[in-house]
Amino acid sequence: MAIESQAIKRPAPFAAGVVGAAGGFLGIFVGASNGSVLLGILVGFVLAAAAAFVAMQVLDEGMERPFKWGLLGLITVGGVLLGGLPGLILGAIFGWLFGWFIYWVGMGRYRVPLPPYLTAGQVLWHYSFRMLCGVIFVFLITPILVVMPLSFNAQDFFTFTPEMLAFDPAGYSLKHYKDFFTSTEWQGALRNSLIIAPLATILSVSFGTLAAIGLSSEHVPFRRAIMAILISPMIVPLIISAAGMYFFYSRIGLQGTLLGVVLAHAALGIPFVIITVTATLVGFDRSLTRAAANMGADPVTTFFRVQMPLILPGVISGGLFAFITSFDEVVVVIFVGSANQQTLPWQMFTGLREQISPTILAVATILVGISICLLTVVEMLRRRSERLRGMSPG
């Protein structure tokens, strides 16, 4: 049986029920914005179910494209009447989404990419699991999506103004970004972060890479216990690590110094380097190092000419994680640093506690952008490492 043959038209009540449930779910948000969640659920369910029933019971397959365009126009007009320009945008999105979803469910197209032997329960679990993952992802990403547009607020508020909700250009401004780049306090904090994070990253990569290579050798005694100790900063609550560093640094004279902050951040970044480099070394062919030794290469030459090129993606990935950890860390630097080592996250924390400045939103948006770029690089390096180790096609 060909898999494409599974796309069989479903009964109209089935399509109406599934699409109506989706409409009721989206109606929660529409109803909440208009003051009645229950009414939003009821209206969303009825309208979506009715549209699916008409499409499956009344219209034939040749009317699919006209029906989609008609539904798109109808929902868009309704969005304009209810919410103006924002309603137009949301209406267009919902109209396109439901036009596609109705026929995806009603014509049985959801079965096409799945093996033909799956039962109805397995199909339900397949899509329910993905929907659950999507809901969790949206829950985690929503705070970021809220912060980013708020950073362009023309007013000194942490909420959306009526002008912003109406997409009025007067409600948007770059004033908070200008405040960040012109403020001596913010620029001083940025300078400290750009000094501390690279230095901590260099130490983390150096010590973490050497530790990972050493612990990957089976003849090292107590290597599991040593590994557990080295990655403990990732497991132990950060407040406990910060308090311990504070008392220790106070006794040896490093508390309140730049060196103390750099060493503290390096200790937090080493576990990330060890884990990523160790994962890279799993597929490393150790016969290459033995062959280099047989050819007369000393250990240092073997490391830089044989091992390092192959484990470099893991080293760089660990270094990026260590950099992000140091650049975003605030608890440890408050304990072991001083006013002279005030970093960007520390300045943000101080701004929230002492003076609520919307400039924090602009800084947060910049940090999110930096994190996205670094994580993109990490993913590219991961794929390159897999290609080098023969785990994925080139």
At 195, the pLDDT band (50, 70, 90 cuts) reads very high
Lookup: tokens for 89: 């945008």
Lookup: tokens for 147: 């912060």
| Stretch among 57-66, 68-77, 173-182 having the lowest mean pLDDT | 57-66
250 contact partners, CB below 8 Å, separation of at least 6: none
β-partners of residue 172 are 153
**What's the burial of 197, exposed, middle or buried (CB within 10 Å: 0-12/13-18/19+)?**
buried
Coil, strand, or helix at residue 172? strand
pLDDT for 5 equals: 45
pLDDT for 385 equals: 65
pLDDT for 263 equals: 93
The pTM of this model reads 0.70
Share of the chain above pLDDT 90, in %: 14
Is 70 exceeded by the pLDDT of residue 45? yes
Residue among 99, 84, 82, 77 at smallest CA distance from 23: 99
pLDDT for 354 equals: 67
**Treating both helix axes as pointing N-terminal to C-terminal, what angle do 308-328 and 184-215 enclose, rounded to 10 degrees?**
140
Q: Could you report the per-residue pLDDT of 275-320, keeping only the tens digit for each?
A: 988 888 876 767 777 787 778 777 788 877 877 877 888 888 889 8
At 389, the pLDDT band (50, 70, 90 cuts) reads low
Contact 360, 352 (CB under 8 A): yes
User: What mean pLDDT do residues 71-80 have?
Assistant: 87
User: Which has the higher per-residue pLDDT, 20 or 30?
Assistant: 20
253 φ/ψ sector (left φ>0, alpha ψ -120 to 50, else beta): left
pLDDT for 6 equals: 59
User: Which has the higher per-residue pLDDT, 147 or 190?
Assistant: 190
Query: What structural domains and CATH numbers belong to the chain?
Result: 3-116 (no CATH), 183-388 (1.10.3720.10)
Is 60 exceeded by the pLDDT of residue 268? yes
Is 80 exceeded by the pLDDT of residue 361? yes
Best mean pLDDT range from 6-15, 151-160, 320-329, 346-355: 320-329
- Taking the C-alpha atoms of residue 128 and residue 20, their distance in angstroms, rounded to an integer, is 16
pLDDT for 2 equals: 40
Is 90 exceeded by the pLDDT of residue 143? no
Backbone dihedral angles phi then psi of residue 153, each to the nearest 5 degrees? -65, 130
45 contact partners, CB below 8 Å, separation of at least 6: 20, 21, 23, 24, 27
Backbone dihedral angles phi then psi of residue 172, each to the nearest 5 degrees? -120, 145
